[in-house]
Structure 1
């Protein structure tokens, strides 16, 4: 019989609707029930595409005996971290503080005030490698609640107080010297053999790479930055983490060499990477950007024009049975020959690194493309092989799709697609970005405030958080530049104003939730980037671009004040402040503001292409002056020819008509 989650809108919660666990959604009713029964609260946080969430669900939450114990001794709450990032952020901070690491599934036990006294991640159904089982942990914590209640409440209170103290951030000016120091730190953490940073697992460092692209400091550091950028983007493009058949990136690689991915594909990764690769301006970058954009539109686009959150890591085999990770994507030499024939099959096995021993499980291999063919005929052969493999793969059972639309990640998708559209000459990408933006306006925007998620064109009840405002505003600002439609600038400015009014912290930074949001143990505030930009850094970028387009000094002042609160993080742990550093690098002398006006055609396209090569530049293109976009007011062609007005801080040089004069 279905539990309370059967009425949820989240695909992740619906995955647990048939569990024997008597789940509750997050809300005051669950806390009241725990208080009435005088039992602790179990909080389980995950997301629909999470492989180890599925494992723990199968082992424990689908097990009747485990469920019976939970139902008797706990009130159990299930949360989709993508739907409630505020709840996730608070308890992930607690999990990291208590255990030294975080991740999903996240398992927290707390008191009736929401104060945690135990935190962990995946817990096995049986004791393994010195770790207790999930049931043993539940029993020990329940016994402590009954027998040592005062100690439990003291621990919970201490944790809550620690979380509140952690919210304070010191402020220092993010100077050029501190930005230089960040590059030096990244250089020390760079993996010269495989690219990327650190060991394993390896996540795509999208925001850090954009910072390295924009960085312009001392010659030795600039050279190092460009090398780290080129080495890492090339390594990822040829890796098993990149879908060599269908385009798009998996969430991360489990190994140092990028061979084996964790196969789930997240919108936020691909939305960022499509823009990054398009901005590289290289042949490889153009190819990867186009393939990734095509993947997003083909496999993540919803019927309403938005973009779904993720594709699962798991799928069932062609013979059925339990879902297993990666089955949809991996190949054996025999399978390649069956699809391609002996000659092309052997050639594909060689170029993609598919061996009889395999690089993954059960003799299967991920596909890697370490060297893109230089010969034109070989490239045509590769394109044909990829096309035939993609068609054959479409016959396999597909991974499940989490089809909820998250406002922030669709904002990222809009920005990425606009970048690809403008740099690759693909108006279809711009059309897709516009349709996603219209969905956000029509469904997610209510009375000037954003709602976090929608599904099937119906918005959920959860309020948008800071990353929604920052990412959506940035997406709208990208559309304003590409279309010269003042509506997108007006909408973006409204979102930025709402964020400044409702999310500001006294020290110049920002909280992650609006001032009138639900009160949690502590008001979440994390300026550090993770796999996607933090709300903090996404809003800073929106402020920078809004200032460039409008000339509103308060936007730049707010961005500068905010960046001062992350100077220490940016200098000491730049891998978690890449997007803030990218904004800071742009703001040292800019950004460059370029207004392009004149009739559409090859001449204007050439001006636009050159302007877009300048890292961090804000480039708006129109046929002529546009009153609703201050950067375009009074801008006219020069003697009938397209002209570029190049400005910094609204101090402009004379208009130029040659691309070589932009810079």
Structure 2
């Protein structure tokens, strides 16, 4: 019989609806039940495409004996971290403070007042590698609760007190200047891996936000070292196993220092961010590889993640059936020489093995290899490789596909909207702009209520019950602002303004500091507040960036002041931890450059207007905003009082709405913007 999770919309929670564990969703009712029974709460947090979450579910939560122990001694609560990032953040902070590490599945034991007292991540069914078995943990926690209740309460109270004292007040001290941005560049240079690209050691994550900062720093200062780090890292990732050489799109991270073997799950946010980085790298360098990867990644998002409602699904799983009934990580993506030969025949298989780095020993597990691209095919071989890719893709399509988490997360769709809109505009793919517009329409129609409050998720056209958090408001505003510049439709600027007004009203604290949840959100043991980037921009820096862009579009002093105050955290953290606040550093680069405001006025059907608009879109000025339309258009404040020049289309380049002399020649505009 299904448990309570059968009524939820989250694919992750629905995966546990058939467990013998008597799961509750996160709710007041669950904690009331724990108080009624006088038992602790077992909180388990994960997400749909998490490999080890599936492992622990199969080993423990699907086991009748383990489930009976849980049901007897605990109230079990299951949380999808992607639906409730606030709950995840609060308890992950406690896990990391107590154990020095974190991860998913996250396993936390709470009092009936939601106060944590014992922590962990994955626990195996039997003790191994220094980890206790999950049943031993359950038994030990239950005995401590029964026999040493006062001691447990003291521990929980101390943890909550320590967490409550961690609020940040990095606001009002001003945004970073050239000194802090230079120190951030130096810090990234020290952590750069010159052999493999990227930063730090294993595991290695795509450093999307840091790359965006480096591109903007190069554009503003001409620092060639910054651009070289981006170019080399992007090429290494694009040639490595982390990039799907057949179907496009990036996996979540590489397990080693090189980009050879990925953790195979594919996340919407990674692909949105990287699509945009590669499009911006093409804009800077004209690289054919960057152009190809940007378009292939955009096509992956549209082809594999787009939902019938027009939004974008969250993720593809790492695991799938390997053809023998076993659920195996990477099974959909890896190849052996024998498998190549079965599809291609001996000659083409040998050629493909050399081209894609497939070896007899294998680069992954059990003699299989992840496809890589050590070097491009020569012109004479391009047709042969194209045919091989087509045949391998067709054969791969016959394999069991990884599961897809179909829920639509507002923040990640905002990132996808920005990426598709800009990539489509830069690379002459209007269909991508159309897909971005359709996703934006869905967010307005389904996720946004009359009070401009955002819902965090939806699935199958049904909006979820969870309130949007700061990253939802910041990233969706970012997407709408990008769409406004690309389409010339001022309604997206208006919607962005509505969202950012909620940020100012509901998420700001003393001195301009930002919180991850709204003032009127559900109260947790601590109000989450984290300005550092994880795999995607933090809510704090996403909001700061969008506030700055909106101010550049509208001249709003209030939004600009809020952005500058919020960037005070970047002044404090950027020189010390640049890898973890790259989006804030990128926003600070835009602020140092103005950001520049470009108004292109004229007849949208006129070729001179189109050429000026195209040149403005391809400008690399950090964070530049574009308003294009007829003179005096009401939709964009930048177009007001900007007349034609001698009857011709003209471009105005401004800072703080103070403009240089207008130009009518695209080459002159390009020189001015560089």
Q: CA deviation at 1:459?
A: 0.3
Partner of 2:657: 650
In 1, the alpha carbon distance for the partners of 2:148 and 2:223 equals 58
Matched, 1:249 2:246: no
Which of 472, 475, 478 is the aligned partner of 2:476?
472
CA contact (8 A) 2:218 2:224 kept: no
In 1, the alpha carbon distance for the partners of 2:314 and 2:107 equals 22
In structure 2, relative to structure 1, the CA distance for the partners of 1:217 and 1:406 (3 Å cut) is: closer
In 2, the alpha carbon distance for the partners of 1:138 and 1:103 equals 19
In 2, the alpha carbon distance for the partners of 1:163 and 1:381 equals 59
In 1, the alpha carbon distance for the partners of 2:572 and 2:137 equals 38
SS of 1:450's equivalent in the other structure is coil
Q: CA deviation at 1:628?
A: 1.8
Which of 412, 417, 440 is the aligned partner of 1:414?
417
Q: Deviations 1:138-160 (Å, cap 9, x if unpaired)?
A: 11111111111111111111111
Partner of 2:296: 291
CA contact (8 A) 2:549 2:623 kept: no
CA contact (8 A) 2:107 2:121 kept: yes
Q: CA deviation at 1:370?
A: 2.4
SS of 1:248's equivalent in the other structure is coil
Which of 557, 560, 568 is the aligned partner of 1:556?
560
CA contact (8 A) 1:180 1:217 kept: no
- Residues 169-178 or 117-126, more deviating: 169-178
Matched, 1:230 2:224: no
Partner of 1:189: 191
SS of 1:335's equivalent in the other structure is helix
- Residues 394-403 or 593-602, more deviating: 593-602
Q: CA deviation at 1:601?
A: 6.0
Matched, 1:661 2:671: no
CA contact (8 A) 1:169 1:566 kept: no
In structure 2, relative to structure 1, the CA distance for the partners of 1:423 and 1:513 (3 Å cut) is: same
Partner of 1:276: 277
CA contact (8 A) 2:86 2:516 kept: yes
Q: RMSD across aligned C-alpha pairs, in angstroms? A: 1.5
Which stretches in structure 2 are left out of the alignment for 5+ residues?
Answer: none
Q: CA deviation at 1:659?
A: 2.8
Equivalent residue runs for 1:486-635 within 5 Å: 486-598=490-602, 599-600=604-605, 603-611=608-616, 612-614=618-620, 615-635=622-642
Q: CA deviation at 1:217?
A: 9.4
SS of 1:166's equivalent in the other structure is coil
In 2, the alpha carbon distance for the partners of 1:101 and 1:538 equals 25
In 1, the alpha carbon distance for the partners of 2:219 and 2:445 equals 44
Matched, 1:382 2:385: yes
Q: Deviations 1:618-647 (Å, cap 9, x if unpaired)?
A: 123325442121012233443454322111
SS of 1:516's equivalent in the other structure is coil
Which stretches in structure 1 are left out of the alignment for 5+ residues?
Answer: none
Aligned residues: 660
In 2, the alpha carbon distance for the partners of 1:339 and 1:635 equals 61
In 1, the alpha carbon distance for the partners of 2:169 and 2:579 equals 18
CA contact (8 A) 2:170 2:513 kept: no
CA contact (8 A) 1:278 1:423 kept: yes
In structure 2, relative to structure 1, the CA distance for the partners of 1:149 and 1:349 (3 Å cut) is: same
Query: TM-score, with normalisation over the residues of structure 2?
Result: 0.96
CA contact (8 A) 1:40 1:75 kept: yes
In 2, the alpha carbon distance for the partners of 1:261 and 1:452 equals 29
Equivalent residue runs for 1:377-456 within 5 Å: 377-447=380-450, 448-456=452-460
Matched, 1:42 2:45: no
CA contact (8 A) 2:41 2:74 kept: yes
CA contact (8 A) 1:60 1:66 kept: yes
In 1, the alpha carbon distance for the partners of 2:577 and 2:595 equals 24
Partner of 1:365: 369
SS of 2:294's equivalent in the other structure is helix
In 2, the alpha carbon distance for the partners of 1:170 and 1:595 equals 34
Stretches (4+) displaced over 6 A: none
In 1, the alpha carbon distance for the partners of 2:301 and 2:646 equals 42
Q: Deviations 1:58-94 (Å, cap 9, x if unpaired)?
A: 1111111111111111111000001111101111111
SS of 1:102's equivalent in the other structure is coil
In 2, the alpha carbon distance for the partners of 1:39 and 1:175 equals 53
- Residues 587-596 or 263-272, more deviating: 587-596
In 2, the alpha carbon distance for the partners of 1:406 and 1:101 equals 26
Q: CA deviation at 1:609?
A: 4.1
Which of 477, 488, 499 is the aligned partner of 1:484?
488
In 1, the alpha carbon distance for the partners of 2:322 and 2:304 equals 20
